[in-house]
Structure 1
Amino acid sequence: MRIPPTAPGLRIGLLGGSFNPPHRGHFHVAETALARLGLDALWVMVTPGNPLKPRDDLPSLATRIDAARRLMDHPRITVTAFEAHFGSPYTWRTVERLAAMHPQVRFVWVMGADNLASFHRWQHWRRIAGTVPIAVIDRPGASMTPLSAPAALAYARHRLPEIDAARLADRPAPAWTFLHAPRNALSSTDLRRRGLAG
């Protein structure tokens, strides 16, 4: 439940989600972010629950943390659930609090392209975009639609070319980039529907 150790000047990616269940697609997003953004570390933040999704089939936080830790076996990835200690499921509160607590750390919000398509539905999404740079990782079937989504259009002039992605953490928010990468088609929704693990 504690915030992982950090230090001034570090570049840290934040990958949040309910991870119900975690799967190779999540690991693919995390690895792509580490490789392309010049990050020192990436925190996989297992949330108490997604406010936009029902919680009827949501396993316990401990179960999802354990599964994420087994999957995210990487020396620069830390699986954490400190948002539960914050007492809020909302990303804007998390990023604003982290930025206030660690002003000399360069945080980057990391998400799959499927999330960009619905980003404008997140509570106070403009506050998120105004607090931390955002890296969007390509996902199967999501390449073109997210780029015409309300959030992408609203911040079109703040988009960093993909070739400059390694500079994203150094840019003041709002700033974002879209990263193309080999795709992994797994999704938590599909795995739950089929009753499979990731």
Structure 2
Amino acid sequence: MKVGLFFGSFNPIHTGHMIIANYMANHTDLQQVWLVVSPHNPLKEKSDLINMYDRLEMARLATEDAMNIRVSDAELKLPQPSYTIDTLTYLHEKYPEHEFSLIMGSDNLLSLKKWKNYELILRDYHIHIYPRPGYDKHDFKDHPSISFTETPLMELSATFIRNAVKAKKNVQYFVPDKVLKFIEGKNLYK
């Protein structure tokens, strides 16, 4: 099975993530998308992250009714910080029957050369790119391992949602209903 791995902190998971995952699972050659909850991206600050198990639970709640979208806790089981190449190796060994690809935003192309063993990723895996506001195709526009998709442009961010919750603003429709109830029930991002 062709599985797209959509890595993220999902802090919190929001409607934009779900639209991207749905597009990839239904409008590309991928048969399934796995949301891989990352404990901590080595290239980002950790200070704003809530508990990784709460982020995992929100991702599970958001995908309960999704047909081709699953949640993976693979990175929670691996040494931290988590590196994409290590997770890919782990998943390839655990699920040899699947053909894994990456899903990432065009903004990540700017930092791809900073990733651990990025050359191996480009050699051994396909990458599906979704557009991000203000980022074009850069150095990788003609790379054979990279496909640029027509995924709807999403300007919604988890930072916006966290700030809105902190300011006591309504975030209904920005996050799935079950996720909103979880955030409110645990008093997160206040």
Aligned-partner SS, 2:34: strand
Q: In the alignment, does 2:177 pair up with 1:186?
A: no
Q: In the alignment, does 2:2 pair up with 1:14?
A: no
Q: Could you tell me the TM-score, scaled by structure 1's length?
A: 0.75
Where does residue 132 of structure 2 map in the other structure?
139
The 8 Å contact of residues 13 and 42 in structure 1, kept in 2 or not, is answered as yes
Q: How many residues align?
A: 166
Taking a change above 3 Å as real, the CA distance of residues 138 and 48 of structure 1, as seen in their structure-2 partners, is same
Structure 1, 14-23 or 183-192: larger mean CA deviation:
183-192
Q: In the alignment, does 2:123 pair up with 1:125?
A: no
Q: Could you tell me the TM-score, scaled by structure 2's length?
A: 0.78
Aligned-partner SS, 1:184: coil
Where does residue 7 of structure 1 map in the other structure?
none
Q: In the alignment, does 2:114 pair up with 1:114?
A: no
Where does residue 170 of structure 1 map in the other structure?
none
Aligned-partner SS, 2:124: coil
The 8 Å contact of residues 108 and 132 in structure 1, kept in 2 or not, is answered as yes
Structure 1, unmatched stretches of 5+, are: 1-9, 159-174
Instruction: Give the CA deviation at 1:136.
Output: 0.4
Matches for 1:1-198 after TM superposition, within 5 Å: 10-72=1-63, 73-88=65-80, 89-142=82-135, 144=136, 147-148=137-138, 150=139, 152=140, 156-158=142-144, 175-195=145-165, 198=175
Identity fraction in percent: 31
Aligned counterparts of 2:94 and 2:76: Cα–Cα separation in 1: 17
Aligned counterparts of 1:181 and 1:37: Cα–Cα separation in 2: 10
Aligned counterparts of 1:28 and 1:48: Cα–Cα separation in 2: 22
Where does residue 183 of structure 2 map in the other structure?
none
**What is the root-mean-square deviation in Å for CA atoms of aligned residues?**
2.0
